[in-house]
Structure 1
Amino acid sequence: MSDPDADNAPSQNDTEQPHAGRPAGARQEPPASKGRRGGRAGQRQSKAWRVEDFAVPEKEGFTRFHDLDLPEPLMQAIADLGFEYCSPIQAEVLPHTLDGYDAVGKAQTGTGKTAAFLLAAMNELLQNPFEEERFLAEPRVVVLAPTRELVMQIAKDAVDLAKYTDLQVHTLVGGMDYGKQLQRMQSRVCDIVAATPGRLIDFISRGDISLGYVEVLVLDEADRMLDMGFLPQVRRVVRATPHREQRQTMLFSATFNYDVNVMIESWMVDPVRVEIEPESIAADSVDQRIYMVSSREKFKVLKNILASEEAGSVIIFANRRDQTRRLFERLQKAGVNCGMLSGEIAQHKRTRTLEQFKNGQIKVLVATDVAGRGIHIDDITHVVNYNLPEDPEDYVHRIGRTGRAGSKGISISLACEDDAFMLPDIEELLGQKLVCEQPPDVIEE
């Protein structure tokens, strides 16, 4: 009997056959333009602005964005965003990717990896503009990510960085109107597409998009895409793009199992590898607390946390959809103004809930791990693990929702007799001992 998962696993047969004569690590030019509609992307930074106006002093051990020789429109956007020094992964990967080399990054969310791959991609487009008109629905950059929320955040970051350019950013995600996405795709030139695998395959299958001119391909959170069963779709997307020698490929993943490594070997050429370990992410910016409680006490302790003066915007993680639903309903019954993010919620409701959380209408959000990975908000004060995650990597992803953009955050895990046995694996991954303590006085129901 054949293996039912065989078609969903990467294999060495996915390897693209090499073209002769390509220097190791260097990328060949993309296919020549063939006369295209819709104009060309270029630069349109404010004429009154100069890089010299954005003064950032040299600092030992840090890389300035000034040191990367980025186009002036990108530097102006970086100045507007208040970025001065590269994050560790940006400092490690950008010198290579700006020269067109493939790159593999081991990093969690919140490390600056999104800006790392967007800056490299936009630099490519601005430094090498098409000299002729372009057809619509022919992107030059494709970014694949596993969830709608993550795709929308990537697109938002791309729009912010492309503020002073003519680069057009499109999103293709499921759960939203196909016709509206198609209408936008057909109304203006498409430079960058951020997409979930399933919706991009829908567009490819209907002939509504062509990936034959893709110069930069980004696979973000590759491990999560595999976990969610997207490998067949990702494989189809990769095969629809030019040969790996004719495109730049960047892959980012929190973990590297066998399947992810096969993807790297099959679809990339001599990539530079950069690893940012979890302990370097959370140690300084997140105060990690482990409260030892009984399962009976958990909800009372949670209410005490939410009632504390230091609690601002709080995300509470549960392991499963049913646990998330029950906790959400219990908090509502207790009078807590909260929202819920999980896969069972319709996309338009998830989007509205996330916007309400961002603008402060909702102070508490209950989420599953998959839904929570799309949350990128800089002023979240607390993350609460109502259940310790079964996968230690998910612990790092969760606490990475707070302590972002240089701010401090607090992570509180409620460990009880049902899940405290998971702590040693989390500590091993972090490379540090987590101090367990008794919670503050519990309020009575």
Structure 2
Amino acid sequence: MTEQTTSQSPETHPKRPARRSRRRGGKTPARARDNAWTLSDFQVPEEKGKLRFHDLDLPETLMHGIADLGFRYCSPIQARSLPFTLRAHDVVGKAQTGTGKTAAFLVTIITELLNHSIDDERFAGEARSLIIAPTRELVMQIAQDAKDLCKYTDLHVHTLVGGMDYDKQKRHLLENVCDILVATPGRLLDFAGSRDVYLDRVEVLVLDEADRMLDMGFIPQVRRIVRLTPPRENRQTLFFSATFTPEVLNLAEQWTVSPVSIEIEPENVATDSVDQKVFIVSAKEKFRLLDGIMQQEAVESVIVFANRRDQCRRLQEKLRAKGFSVGLLSGDVPQGKRVKTLDDFKSGELKVLVATDVAGRGIHIDGVSHVINFTLPEEPEDYVHRIGRTGRAGKFGTSISFACEDDAFLLEPIQKLLGRELHCEQPGPELLGQD
């Protein structure tokens, strides 16, 4: 594991201003509820080379949530970033999906909000912290993780995403104060423009998956959002990206102050818990091969990735015609239906999920046995994100990619990113069933 950080020590950031009292209005939450749990109920032994959450002096109500989630020792990105972020330093972190970065910035936010509570009344929609993420699914996942960690606090988590009822989201904002706001850029600007959300008192700003927001053309919107928050000297900014391109680094320089730079490269870009296979097949044989694989007894739950929405739609229809319980996750599916599809897939009601890369980036579901790349991704990094949907939570998974005459040339950049060759083979006759 390669870890790089700046050499500065994690002393409290000297430029952060004293906390200001709030304007009156809205409803302030009650203090955290009392419960019988104490830190002594969560014993984690010291282990050389590992940082425990116990070692970070976190609020006890937060530690209770951490204990429920089974978090014992910090992941590398958490161990390197938390000693700085908990002391109000800005951080620019390079972190892949599944490294624990979400918990890193949520622990920082929750600790900040609990340690600097607001006694005054507050305006509804006045956010104390803001997390911007590029996709609806990722926003929903981050918000759920936040709620799990806030389980024993009185902090309120709100989400703003496009494709869902505006008035319903507005009602939720009016019901409770806004401690943690997780949002996609477009919908957040809608609420800010209508003065249903106020960002001028944001204390912690998180920009997650900055490279993906750049690729999706969201940066002009994000610039407008950042301008609505306090000056960078008066807020803490945490900036995460899976890649450090010149464009990403330029944005980080604009939006942070003397940031601690953290870069953690896994020894293997793709996880060792995933068995990776590549089948060489003609384009017309792909669906027959997919059907044959789906009939295998070991295939329990599957995410099938394709590059385009129309491809995903056709795959869903053909799989359904074959009798499979299958859901669709792509940008043109209404948000309410996407949420239900994810819930049904998590519960096992659906065996198959067909998804595009944009929709699939935020999927974090334990127990996915197989990932199938019906079409190879055009960006090598997306291959890593795809296969990372399986082999999670200590389990092993299988990734199967189809390479045909149209996309086999995409294998070389994927192998270059992985640092090794992928074994390619012809599918056996037992897998090429009838179309």
Q: What is the CA-CA distance between 1:311 and the residue it aligns to?
A: 1.2
1:272-287 aligned within 5 A? 272-277=260-265, 280=268, 282-287=270-275
Task: Find the counterpart in structure 1 of residue 330 from structure 2.
Answer: 342
Asked if residue 442 in structure 1 is aligned to residue 431 in structure 2, the reply is yes
Where do 1:420-431 residues align within 5 Å?
Answer: 420-431=408-419
TM-score by length of 1: 0.91
Identity of aligned residues (%): 61
> Which of 164, 170, 186 is matched with 2:174 structurally?
186
Alignment-derived partner of residue 21 in structure 2: 33
Task: Give the corresponding residue for 2:285.
Answer: 297
Instruction: Determine the structure 1 residue equivalent to 2:129.
Output: 141
Contact 2:102–2:142 (Cα < 8 Å) also in 1:
yes
Relative distance call for 1:311 and 1:46 in structure 2 (3 A) is farther
Query: Would you say 1:372 and 2:355 are equivalent positions?
Result: no
Structure 2 residue 313 is the aligned partner of structure 1 residue 325: yes
SS at match of 1:389: coil
Give the direction of change, closer, same or farther, for the CA distance of 1:60–1:311 in structure 2 (3 Å limit): farther
**Equivalent of 2:211 in 216, 220, 223:** 223
CA separation of 1:42 and 1:437: change in aligned 2, threshold 3 A: farther
Deviation at 1:170, TM superposition (A): 0.6
2:108 corresponds in structure 1 to 120
Distance (whole Å) between structure 1 residues aligned to residue 30 and residue 83 of structure 2: 23
* Worse overlay, 354-363 or 435-444: 435-444
- 1:100 equivalent in alignment to 2:88: yes
CA distance in 1, matches of 2:85, 2:76: 14
TM-score, normalised via structure 2 length = 0.93
Q: Displacement of 1:31 after TM fit?
A: 5.7
Alpha-carbon shift at residue 189 of structure 1 (Å): 1.0
Match of 2:186 among 189, 192, 198: 198
CA distance 1:68–1:285, change in 2 (3 Å): farther
Q: Is the 8 A contact 2:299 2:369 kept in 1?
A: yes
1:432 CA drift (Å): 2.4
Larger mean CA deviation between 279-288 and 139-148 belongs to 279-288
Task: Specify every segment of 5 or more residues in structure 1 that has no aligned partner in the other structure, as ranges.
Answer: 1-22
Residue pair 1:30, 1:246 contacting (<8 A) in 2 also = no
Q: Secondary structure at the match of 1:350?
A: helix
User: Residue 70 of structure 1 corresponds to which residue in structure 2?
Assistant: 58
Match of 1:351 in 2: 339
1:210 counterpart residue number:
198
Supply the AA of the counterpart residue of 1:162.
C
Determine which of 315, 325, 331 is the counterpart of 2:303.
Answer: 315
- Is the partner of 1:282 in helix, strand or coil? coil
SS in 2 for 1:249: strand
1:154 to 128, 142, 154: 142
Assess, with a 3 A threshold, how the Cα gap between structure 1 residues 60 and 439 changes in structure 2: closer, same or farther.
farther
User: In 2, distance between residues paired with 1:430 and 1:42?
Assistant: 50
Task: Determine if the alignment matches structure 1 residue 171 to structure 2 residue 159.
Answer: yes
Q: CA deviation at 1:439?
A: 3.0
SS in 1 for 2:398: strand
Q: Deviation per CA, 1:171-226, whole angstroms, max 9, x where unpaired? A: 11111111111111122111010011111111111111111110000011111112
Point out the more displaced range, 50-59 or 155-164.
Answer: 50-59
CA RMSD of aligned residues (A): 1.9
**Structure 1 residue 277: Cα displacement:** 2.7
Query: Aligned pair count?
Result: 423
Equivalent pair of 1:71/1:126 in contact (CA under 8 Å) = yes
- Deviations 1:337-391, CA, capped at 9 Å, x for gaps: 2111111212222121111111111010111000111211111111111111010
- Offset from partner CA, 1:415-444 (integer Å, 9 cap, x none): 222212111211111222222233343242
Alpha-carbon displacement from aligned partner over 1:113-153 (angstroms, at most 9, x marks no partner): 11111111111111111232322211110000111111111
Which secondary structure does the structure 2 equivalent of 1:380 belong to?
A: coil
Mapped contact 2:271–2:388 kept (Cα < 8 A): no
Q: Residues 12 and 88 of structure 2 are in contact (CA less than 8 Å); yes or no, is this contact kept in structure 1?
A: no
Q: CA deviation at 1:285?
A: 2.1
Change (3 A) 1:46 1:199: same
Relative distance call for 1:45 and 1:304 in structure 2 (3 A) is farther
Q: Distance in 2 between matches of 1:313 and 1:439?
A: 21
Secondary structure of the 1:276 match is strand
1:7 corresponds in structure 2 to none
Corresponding position: 1:402 with 2:390? yes
What is the deviation of 1:42?
Answer: 6.7
Provide the rounded CA distance (Å) in 1 between the counterparts of 2:376 and 2:23.
56
> Whole-Å Cα distance in 1 between the matches of residues 23 and 354 of structure 2?
50
Q: CA deviation at 1:166?
A: 0.6
Quick one: distance in 2 between partners of 1:194 and 1:316?
28
| Aligned twin of 1:258 | 246
Query: Do the aligned residues in 1 keep the contact of 2:27 with 2:124 (CA within 8 Å)?
Result: no
Letter paired with 1:442? L
* Letter paired with 2:228: A
